Amino acid sequence: MIGALMVVENEIDWQNLKKEITKNLDFNCSHYTDSFLKRRVECRLRATSINNYTDYTSFLLDSSDEQKSLKKELTIHVTHFFRDISLWSFLENSVIPKLIEQKNELGQKSIRIWSAGCSTGEEPYSISMLFHEVLGSNISKYDIRIHATDYDFATVSKARLGSYEKTQFTEINPDYVTKYFDVSGDSYKIKSHIKNLVDISQGDILSKDKPKNIDLIFCRNVVIYFDKEIKEELYVDFYDALNPQGFLVIGKTETLLGPAREKFKVFSVTERVFSK
């Protein structure tokens, strides 16, 4: 039962709907759990007042608007600046100084960061602000690139725009709003020196063609709906994508699974930071 609507469930119709979604929406259902997929599809059933998978499949195949709406529903992208604030203090006081120390010891200037599943850009721009905070004027001595990717095209376009509303400021230090945004009416635009460190592109984190030689990977609140086997593979891929002594940050409610648990060292249990 969803709202006032009773969904008539049929396994064959459900499998068929998943097949059509995978074929037509450039979204691979086999990577996600059924309970997650059903919850998202049910939101669309409610919105369209359709109560069974067969009718919904026909409707979906006939309507490009519905395909867009379902794709958006499947790639939910809730986020905000400095989400989970205690993590950011830990990054500022422990992870970034350690990373800089390692780079200085190696005589290297290049720092590569990947925000995987960056949604509308708040995470990579928060990272850029934090590097500016930690390094101050010394930032020009380093070659810092923050590569940010997300599956969803509309989300990527919004991230590139770098224009936000106050609702995204629930955890940010108010001084950073003054320092790092140009305000115009209700719109807050990321300043160019913050934006310049960030490259945003569309990309599937499950693709085998992952970025390489990364020093710090953020993958927070993205894999929660992935199958266990997919998560296990992904965490090993992240390990391989990192430079020696690199760091992985995962979401506060997430845990490392599979062989990656043996490979990574725990840098902070509470903040879910791991090192290679």
Ligand X SMILES: C[S@@+](CC[C@H](N)C(=O)[O-])C[C@H]1O[C@@H](n2cnc3c(N)ncnc32)[C@H](O)[C@@H]1O
Residues engaged in binding ligand X (CB under 6 A): 75-79, 83, 117, 119, 123, 150-152, 155, 204-206, 220-222
Write phi, then psi, for 242 (nearest 5 degrees).
Answer: -85, 150
Task: Provide, rounded to whole angstroms, the least separation between the CB of residue 76 and ligand X.
Answer: 6
Residue whose CB is less far from ligand X, 102 or 221:
221
Could you give the C-alpha distances from 45 to 9, 92, 148, 170, in angstroms and in order?
12, 44, 32, 32
Residue whose CB is less far from ligand X, 57 or 79:
79
| Placement of tokens 């648990």 in the chain | 261
Residue whose CB is less far from ligand X, 100 or 206:
206
Task: Provide, rounded to whole angstroms, the least separation between the CB of residue 54 and ligand X.
Answer: 27
Could you give the C-alpha distances from 54 to 9, 45, 46, 71, 174, in angstroms and in order?
10, 11, 15, 18, 50
Q: Please count the other Cβ atoms lying within 10 Å of the Cβ belonging to residue 269.
A: 9
Closest CA to 151 of 204, 115, 201: 204
User: CB nearest ligand X: which residue?
Assistant: 77
Residue whose CB is less far from ligand X, 13 or 237:
237
Task: Provide, rounded to whole angstroms, the least separation between the CB of residue 223 and ligand X.
Answer: 8
15 vs 10: CA distance, rounded Å: 9
Task: Provide, rounded to whole angstroms, the least separation between the CB of residue 221 and ligand X.
Answer: 4
Residue whose CB is less far from ligand X, 117 or 246:
117
Task: Provide, rounded to whole angstroms, the least separation between the CB of residue 28 and ligand X.
Answer: 8
